[in-house]
Amino acid sequence: MLQWIVKNKYNNLKTVTILGAILVAVFLSFNTALAQNTVTEGLQVIQQPLGLANFDIRIIIANIIRAALGLIGIVLVCLMLYAGYLWMTAGGNEEQIAQAKSIIRNAVIGLAIILSAYSIVAFIMKMLGVNDVGGSSTTNTAPSENYNFAGSGALGKVIRDHYPARDQKDVPRNTKIVITFNKPVYLPSFVVDTNNNKTFGDCINTDKATFNWNTDCDHAITTSTSDDFINVKRTDNNQSIVGLVVLSSISTSNNIQGHFTLVLKPITNASVSAGGYLGSDTDSVGYTVTLGKKIEEDNAENNYPSIFDKQQNGNDFYSWQFICNNALDLTPPTVEGVFPNSVANNPKGEARNSVIQVTFSEPIDPTGLQGSFTTSSFVAKNYYEAPGAGADRYIYLKNLANILPAGTFSLVNNYKTLEFTPSLKCGVNACGEDIFCLNQDDYILMLKAAKTLANTFQSQPFTGIADMASNALDGNKNGSAQTATTTLPVFDNGLVPDNYYWNFKINSDIDITAPYLTSITPAVDSDYIAKDQPWKMVFSKQMRVGSLYSIELAEFPTTTVGNVPWIPLWHLPSVGLDYQAVTMQHGTFLDNEFYMPAVSSLVEDVHFNCFYPGLGPDISPAVSSTLVSPICDSSNPNSKCCSVVPGAKDFCCDGAVSVGQNFTQNSCINWIKNNKQLINN
């Protein structure tokens, strides 16, 4: 019997040893693979925007410690198994039992030492910016899980919008690149007066058959070795294109005049007058656009600071990518909707405090579309013209009263909505902000299509409305190109295809109904949302698109791990045809980050009524009828006391416009004093 026990003792020991060796090999292979797949993938993701190396010494040390701890842990398990084996096979042998107890005791002591060492190492690694040394599947050592790309956070802050969009695919080869800033830029800081006419951001000879994009237009300062200005290069080999034409005209934003929007025409072949196309006719090609620190703000008082001035490190430039397919865009844009509606669909007319909106089927080239109506030609022509390029104007308007419609056109909503915001003040809304009105009148508005080449929608430059690929507007949606005319008088001879025109009525009413949210996604206090979770809001009314850019996002925490800076999440609004559903395009939501969207009273409907945050998807109108605006504060001498619920009759108690009971400032304060309990509830 003893011989059997001894023989099997060594056989079992041999088996345990082999199994232990296999477990160690599997653990080390799995652990190494896990470290490589997680860490390397993360570093590759963040390497492109940050320019970091492919390794991090902290992560290498963490991996070595992780492997060592795992190996020692397996050794301890094997020792415990061996001690248990000795004890179970002792057969009453006190010496063997004592040996087993000694091994178990030493293994426990060793385990305590290892756990203490692990705690110390984990604490040190955490201080160095490497978390979870133990190597769980939720390790935070992969930057792709915890950082936005450098330069991306400027979108929604420094950069208002651009086309092509971030990571857009299937962009046609004959596209232009458009960028809109939130502040005016100083063109001489990054544009060369190539055509020597002492004006930056324009072209000459546009009405001549010999017009050449490369020689007749101003170009951006470019260098293949620097991203300090504007650089467009292939993503695969970092090779910059030949050049960039820069077009820009003065427009108005937030009561500031300047150059906000840049239209860039890529030059890939300087030997042809058209300048060539991006990409290839056989393969898809990716491009990276970088806007650098030497683009200056048009601010002479502060010595023309960088447009990225005061941005945090890692966000003091802007960069994005898109992919061109192998085809040319030959499809024309069309008009998909207008506001106010035509007289045929709305014979009563629209309220005076209205904007004008035109929705296109695709992004439109902003050249010649952003600006105001002029009076210089009204006396001779009896109608008003809005901006244009060269001798052509792009927008024409006529009204019965012959009163100039003061205001500004701008392209918003990813360049798919042309929005006219009047500048004639006519009152104050429920939040104390100005409202603006059109004059009561009958209007007819015409959008001029660009002149086309024979039997094609390809347009002649600077002759009218066209898309980003220079396809002229198809005003009547018949899929056939007609060369529209603006022969005088325009409103007799110009109302023909492919110009787009409609008539609408503005009545004497004032719309006073405040918009509110009917639904939001993600819901309030949502947990564990997907990284690409749609961020959407649906309002009760049609919204003014220009105001949606004021939607903000607070992020917590805003921390920096190691040498990698925190980059804010980029975001910008996009709306559909109903202008009530708003989708906020955004970067990737990060792990362990808390987000709080902020929709303030700067968000307004098409009638300049401010959004009231007190009425949302979780509060029914019946309940909210007892609510009052938080602006009603008796401690504030300039407070407004206004009802903001659906169907309310009071536009603003002490504003210039009021269609209900005309409260005074004192009566507002008295009402608050008498209803403190209601307000507190």
What does the DSSP 8-state code read for residue 42? H
CB 111 within 8 A of CB 76: yes
Contact partners, residue 153, CB within 8 Å, separation at least 6: 311, 315, 567, 568, 569, 570, 587
Q: Distance (Å, rounded) from C-alpha 341 to C-alpha 359? A: 12
Identity of the amino acid at 322: F
For residue 103, the surrounding DSSP H or E stretch is helix 94-127
Mean pLDDT of the chain: 78
Identity of the amino acid at 14: K
Cα-based angle 636, 638, 641 (whole degrees, multiple of 5)? 90
- Write out pLDDT tens, residues 228-262: 999 999 999 999 999 999 999 988 887 889 999 99
Residue at token pair 């609004």:
573
Reading the block at residue 349, the tokens are 């007319």
Q: In Å, how far are 152, 312, 560, 674 from 565, measured between CA atoms?
A: 12, 8, 5, 52
Which residues is 602 bridged to in the sheet?
A: none
Residue at token pair 């692990």:
118
For residue 336, the surrounding DSSP H or E stretch is strand 335-339
Percent of the chain with pLDDT over 90: 45
What mean pLDDT do residues 103-113 have? 82
Reading the block at residue 291, the tokens are 């806007």
Q: Distance (Å, rounded) from C-alpha 52 to C-alpha 62? A: 19
Reading the block at residue 417, the tokens are 């909505």
Cα-based angle 409, 444, 367 (whole degrees, multiple of 5)? 30
- Write out pLDDT tens, residues 285-342: 999 999 999 999 999 999 999 999 987 766 789 999 999 999 999 999 999 999 999 9
Does the pLDDT of residue 565 top 80, yes or no? Answer: no
Residue at token pair 């802007």:
318
- Write out pLDDT tens, residues 389-410: 766 789 999 999 888 899 999 9
State the pLDDT at residue 554: 86
Q: Which segments of 400-539 are extended strands (E)? A: 407-412, 417-422, 424-428, 434-437, 441-447, 500-506, 517-521, 536-539
Residues recorded for the chain: 681
Give the distance from CA 406 to its chain's centroid.
Answer: 30
CB 184 within 8 A of CB 252: no
Give the distance from CA 38 to its chain's centroid.
Answer: 28
Cα dihedral across residues 540, 541, 545, 550: positive or negative: negative
Does the pLDDT of residue 584 top 90, yes or no? Answer: yes
Specify the 3-state DSSP secondary structure of 73. Answer: helix
- Write out pLDDT tens, residues 437-483: 999 999 999 999 999 987 789 998 999 999 999 999 999 999 998 87
State the pLDDT at residue 668: 40
State the pLDDT at residue 54: 40
Does the pLDDT of residue 211 top 50, yes or no? Answer: yes
CB 288 within 8 A of CB 321: yes
Least confident piece of the model among 108-112, 164-168, 199-203, 508-512: 108-112
Q: How many CB atoms lie within 10 A of CB 422?
A: 21
CB 370 within 8 A of CB 410: yes
CB 575 within 8 A of CB 413: yes
Cα-based angle 126, 132, 137 (whole degrees, multiple of 5)? 155
**pLDDT: which is higher, 654 or 65:** 65
Q: Distance (Å, rounded) from C-alpha 354 to C-alpha 352? A: 6
State the pLDDT at residue 16: 43
Work out whether strand 168-171 and strand 318-324 pair parallel, antiparallel, or are unpaired: parallel
Contact partners, residue 281, CB within 8 Å, separation at least 6: 173, 326
Which residues is 427 bridged to in the sheet?
A: 435
Least confident piece of the model among 32-36, 169-173, 262-266, 317-321: 32-36
Q: H helices within 484-593, ranges in order? A: 490-493, 545-548
State the pLDDT at residue 440: 95
What does the DSSP 8-state code read for residue 456? S
For residue 380, the surrounding DSSP H or E stretch is helix 378-381
State the pLDDT at residue 541: 94
State the pLDDT at residue 287: 97
Q: State the greatest distance between any 2 C-alpha atoms of the chain, in Å, as a whole number.
A: 124
Specify the 3-state DSSP secondary structure of 388. Answer: strand
Q: Distance (Å, rounded) from C-alpha 468 to C-alpha 484? A: 20
The CA-to-CA distance between both ends of the chain, in Å, stands at 87
Residue at token pair 């941005």:
311
Cα-based angle 460, 461, 464 (whole degrees, multiple of 5)? 85
Cα dihedral across residues 481, 485, 490, 496: positive or negative: negative
What confidence tier does 648 reach under pLDDT thresholds 50, 70, 90? Answer: very low
For residue 622, the surrounding DSSP H or E stretch is helix 621-624
Residue at token pair 């990054």:
190
Helices 57-88 and 94-127 pack at an angle, to 10 degrees, of 160
Specify the 3-state DSSP secondary structure of 595. Answer: strand
